Amino acid sequence: MLAHLVVAITFFAMLWTGACLYSPALAEVMNRPSAKYWHLVSAIALGVGLLAIIILRPRAIGQVVREVDTFDENDRLWLRGGTKRLFDHTGAPEQGWLNAGQKLFTSVTSGLMVVLTITGLLLWLGEQNTTYRFAGTVDVHDLATLLIIVLTCGHLYLSLISPATRAATRGIVTGSVDREWAKQNHARWVRDMEQRNK
């Protein structure tokens, strides 16, 4: 939950300040020097926040990494359901704590965050020293930003609007979800938890 909060706050701060840097119309709202400063502060806060969580909660982070890294036949079958799974999970193969879509989302957004970090660092270094200026860095940074915005819009739709998945939002806020909903959508995870608690 804490990692999710850190990423969400810093992501939207970087999105806003990046938009002010990108759009001349928004530059009226926040001038370029201020936007650059807060963009950089938000990026550093994201890195420091995630590093602190990794140091303070290594087992929890390890659990998430193992879950995302485990991709089995049920996950492949879940993905074969295509866009139907975005709206209806009935008839889906059993899933663990994260379903295949959540694993894919986590992997892709993590990769995009790495790309944004590297290109952002190169852009910042390029302002200090022209040796670090490479053609296309801005384009790659912009494309990665666009992709992560699209994925975030989908994520927000599924977590806040879609009736099939909205119940999962409670898990982020309170740390628990309705057992019946969990059995329908993450049956393997519920079974594993019940066996551990015996």
pLDDT, one tens digit per residue, over 100-137 is 989 999 999 999 999 999 999 999 999 888 888 898 99
Answer whether residue 144 shows pLDDT above 90.
yes
51 shares a domain with 65? no
Same domain, 113 and 167: yes
pLDDT confidence of residue 146: 96
The answer for residues whose C-beta is within 8 angstroms of residue 159's C-beta and 6 or more apart is 165, 166, 168, 169, 172
Q: How many domains does the chain have?
A: 2
| Domain ranges, residue 41 | 1-56
Confidence (pTM): 0.86
Reply yes or no on whether the pLDDT at 194 is more than 90. Answer: no
Two structure tokens written together for 173: 């806020």
Q: Indicate the pLDDT class of residue 166, thresholds 50, 70 and 90.
A: confident
Average pLDDT of the chain is 88
What's the CA gap between 106 and 141, in Å, rounded? 19
- The answer to whether residues 105 and 39 belong to one domain is no
Is the domain of 43 the same as that of 74? no
> Would you place residue 187 in the very low, low, confident or very high pLDDT band (cuts 50, 70, 90)?
confident
Q: Which is it for the CA torsion 22, 24, 26, 29, positive or negative?
A: positive
pLDDT of residue 184: 82
Whole-angstrom distance, CA of residue 84 vs CA of residue 155: 16
Question: Which of 143, 157, 136, 145 lies closest to 87 in space, CA to CA?
Answer: 157
Closest CA to 69 of 109, 93, 104: 104
* pLDDT in the model for residue 172: 76
pLDDT confidence band for 177 (50 / 70 / 90) = confident
According to the model, what pLDDT value does residue 93 have? 86
> 83 near 98, Cβ under 8 Å?
no
Of residues 73 and 91, more confidently modeled: 73
Statement to judge: residues 27 and 63 lie in one domain? no
Specify whether 65 is located in the same domain as 150: yes
Whether residue 92 is found in the same domain as residue 151: yes
Q: Could you tell me if 78 and 161 lie in one domain?
A: yes
Q: How much is the pLDDT for 119?
A: 96
Q: CATH number of the domain that 145 lies in?
A: 1.20.950.20
Q: Give per-residue pLDDT as tens, 5-21.
A: 899 999 999 999 999 99
pLDDT level of residue 34 (50, 70, 90 thresholds): very high
Residue 63 in tokens: 């659990």
Q: Are residues 104 and 188 in the same domain?
A: yes
Residues 152 and 184 in one domain: yes
pLDDT at 45 over 90: yes
